[in-house]
Chains A and B, each alone.
Chain A
Amino acid sequence: MILVLDLCYRDGSLSRDEFVAPIERLLQSAGVPFTTRHYTAIGTPEVEAADAVVLCGTALKDTRFAGHPGRFSWLPVFERPVLGISSGMRTLAAAFGAGTEPCCEIGMTDVRVLADDPLFAERETFSAYELHESAVQVPDRFIPLAASDRCVQAIRHRSLPLYGLLFHPEVRNEWVVERFLRLVEDAR
């Protein structure tokens, strides 16, 4: 089962339909079992029961999740597939000690693939939807997988299937989520 984490400012917030529901629909149409929880409402049992985790994005002005790093202290030892989207990438990188730097991108941006990885196999460039205030620094144990002209757009842990995407794959790049789900299937 995949654990979908809602990082929005409040459980059941007005942002949920915008950032969490599109991910849920993708999982539903792929026939993948999942459960959704707000990040303030998970504990060890939910994390232990998960085969994989998707950390969803949030609104541009929403940084409340970043004020609760203790809520994500399980990420460095999770070791199963993780997909962090935008704010979720920031959360994943922060759990591994990396910070952010100012870099606002809004709208469609060209993304170049930098390294071989099953997530981006046979794609050299694609156009992606961006909605972020900050770029995410690449943590020590991660490699950059893709970049726009302005900042790193995708990262992966050197030895674990932990991914961070700065762009929103649920908008016009659903194939990225579908490939992640195949990795989850392979990791089982």
Chain B
Amino acid sequence: MRLGVLFSGGKDSLFACWKAIQQEEVACLITIISRNPESYMFHTPNIRLAALQAEAAGLPLVEVETDGEKETELLDLKRALLRAREEFGIEGVVTGAIQSVYQASRVQRVCRDLDLWCFNPLWNVDQEAYMEELIERGFRVIIAGVFACPFDASWLGREIDRRTLGDLRAIARKYQTTLTGEGGEFETFVIDAPFFAQRIAIEEASRAYRNYNGVLRIERAGLVAK
């Protein structure tokens, strides 16, 4: 089955993509670029770098922009999936949804409207086992945004290795946050994955942070040999 992966550049969509590659044929990645930082569905820092990640993976990218208004962004999602179907003949869509019924239901409805299969290989996943597997399988993931207490500016750019995962565990226990950032506590950016032919090297980045809200803006990045 030819599939398109909804792609934000964060760990969940990359991991879902890796799962899909093992079972089916991933024909393209699909990115919705939201101009609204409050977007319910699609906002994420460094979304423009999805093109570099797609190049690293050797997969074509379908990019569609949205104003990010609550209702019209679904039309933009539909537009993106239609383009992916026209250009790459996709028969189904893969998402990295873990627990969000809101997001998963909306994508399911759009897929139904377009007669596409919908796959959520991380749905209801054991978050502890998932984070362990990410590291074990060779995904290199950095924290690209923090949006909750107690994440301070020092978290921006930190790689999720075993030591960081230990710290995330301690925070999850103490502050009732999710281990995966599923609750919107933090966002991630993937610099290497098992299916990348090259990895991403961040050459220049800036940090904007205030009161437990911050993003790592990757200003310049390139591909280097693994």
Residues in chain A within 8 A of chain B (CB atoms): 12-15, 17-18, 21-22, 25, 59-62, 104, 106-108, 129, 131, 133, 170-172
Contact = CB atoms under 8 A, between A and B. Distances in A.
Contacts of B112: 60-61, 104, 106, 133
Given A14-B24, A106-B112, A59 B119 contact: yes
B175 interface: no
A129 B100 CA distance: 11
Contact of A22 (B101, B108, B116, B123): B123
Given A17-B122, A106-B105, A106-B112, 16 more contacts: A12-B23, A14-B19, A18-B120, A18-B121, A60-B112, A60-B117, A61-B112, A61-B116, A107-B101, A107-B109, A108-B105, A129-B101, A131-B108, A170-B124, A171-B124, A172-B101
A60 B111 contact: yes
B134 to A, nearest CB: 14
Question: Is the interface on chain B under 10, 10 to 19, 20 to 34, or 35 or more residues?
Answer: 20 to 34
Interface string B20-52: 100110000000000000000000000000000
Which applies to chain B's interface (DSSP): helix, strand, loop or mixed?
mixed
Interface of B: 19-20, 23-24, 92, 94, 101, 105, 108-109, 111-112, 115-126
In the complex, the 8 A-B pairs of residues with the closest C-beta atoms, listed nearest first: A107-B105, A22-B124, A14-B23, A18-B123, A17-B121, A61-B117, A14-B119, A106-B108
A60 to B, nearest CB: 6
Contacts, number: 59
Given A12-B23, A14-B20, A60 B118 contact: yes
B173 to A, nearest CB: 18
Contacts of B19: 14, 17
Contacts of B108: 60, 106-107, 131
Contact of B23 (A13, A25, A106, A131): A13
B17 to A, nearest CB: 11
Contacts of A106: 105, 108-109, 112
Contacts of A14: 19-20, 23-24, 94, 119, 121
Contacts of A18: 119-121, 123-124
Given A13-B23, A14-B23, A17-B121, A25 B126 contact: yes
B117 A59 contact: yes
B90 to A, nearest CB: 13
